[in-house]
Structure 1
Amino acid sequence: MGLGVLQHYTIEPADLERTKDFYCDILGLENGDRPPLDFPGYWLYSGGTATVHLMGTRKPREGIVVRGTERKYEDTGRFDHIAFAATDVEGMRKRLQSKGVKFRESIVPRTGDTQFFLYDPDGVGVELNFPKT
């Protein structure tokens, strides 16, 4: 039994709208179709795939354990960052700078690829990987 590709990751942000705006307005993901779940949230799409799920506050339900209802973030382990393949390094650099987003840029040894490292509003690390052109 093997694993397939990563389908999505989920964030329960402190400010749902601010985090949605970051991923859509800064990184260029698209807010898209989401099932009619019983709690607020967004599914953000990259290349036609709902890659980032943002989850608003959930209410405990009888007989169902809902992690996160008491805002205990330490129970998720040490999550460092998520990485995206990206294009248009110059365009993204200008976009981040114009929006006042702090990021660190590095060149991967041997491949010459460019990487940007930044944080979303909740401190989730985001890595953007641009192939050498």
Structure 2
Amino acid sequence: MSGRFLGIHHASLIVADTARALAFYRDVLGLPELARPDLPFPGAWLGAGDQQIHLLELPNPDPVDGRPEHGGRDRHVAFSVSGLEAIRQRLEAAGVAYTMSRSGRPALFVRDPDGNAMELMEAP
């Protein structure tokens, strides 16, 4: 069989301010910044294990207000993480709101400064 999917290479997220987004993704969450091609708009590439997150600085077509409080009830990207408790503590220290998974598994949901939701799940 040909033409099969091998995995997700990256997810792109729209952000209003690259520096503000990097303060969250790089400085609070700890994702490493990667080299980015020369593109005609601001943004940043970040590493997340074997995958990447591409931050694209563009006008956001989605409303930031009025989104579900719990990110699990909205579009989101899910990450497997190790050390979820340490990440939770960094979020608290930075004053970033989050909600714990309602399924009872070790996971939390958090939004970036532009309202993009993500799930952080403790890897088995």
- TM-score bucket of the superposed structures, by smaller chain: 0.7 to 0.9
What corresponds to 2:6 in structure 1? Answer: 4
Which runs of 5 or more structure 2 residues have no equivalent in the other structure? 63-73
1:56 maps onto 2:57 in alignment: yes
- The residue aligned with 2:83 is 88
Residues 1:122 and 2:110 are matched in the alignment:
no
Partner in structure 1 of residue 69 of structure 2: none
For residues 95-131 of structure 1, the C-alpha deviation after alignment (integer angstroms, 9 at most, x for no partner) is 111111111113645xxx4010010111111100014
CA deviation map 1:44-92 (0-9, x unaligned): 112254x1111234xxxxxxxxxxxxx4615xxxx71000001112211
Q: In 2, distance between residues paired with 1:14 and 1:56?
A: 5
Which structure has the bigger radius of gyration?
Answer: 1
Q: Report the AA paired with residue 120 of structure 1.
A: D
Higher relative contact order (CA 8 A, sep 6+): 2
80 and 98 in structure 1: CA distance in 2 versus 1, 3 angstrom threshold? same
The one-letter amino acid paired with 2:53 is V
Alignment CA distance shift 1:104-1:5 (3 Å): same
Cα separation, 1, equivalents of 2:43 and 2:101: 33
Q: What one-letter code is carried by the residue in structure 1 that aligns with 2:117?
A: G
TM normalised by structure 2 equals 0.77
Provide the TM-score with structure 1 as the length reference.
0.73
Question: What is the count of residue pairs matched by the alignment?
Answer: 111
Report the aligned-residue RMSD. Answer: 2.1
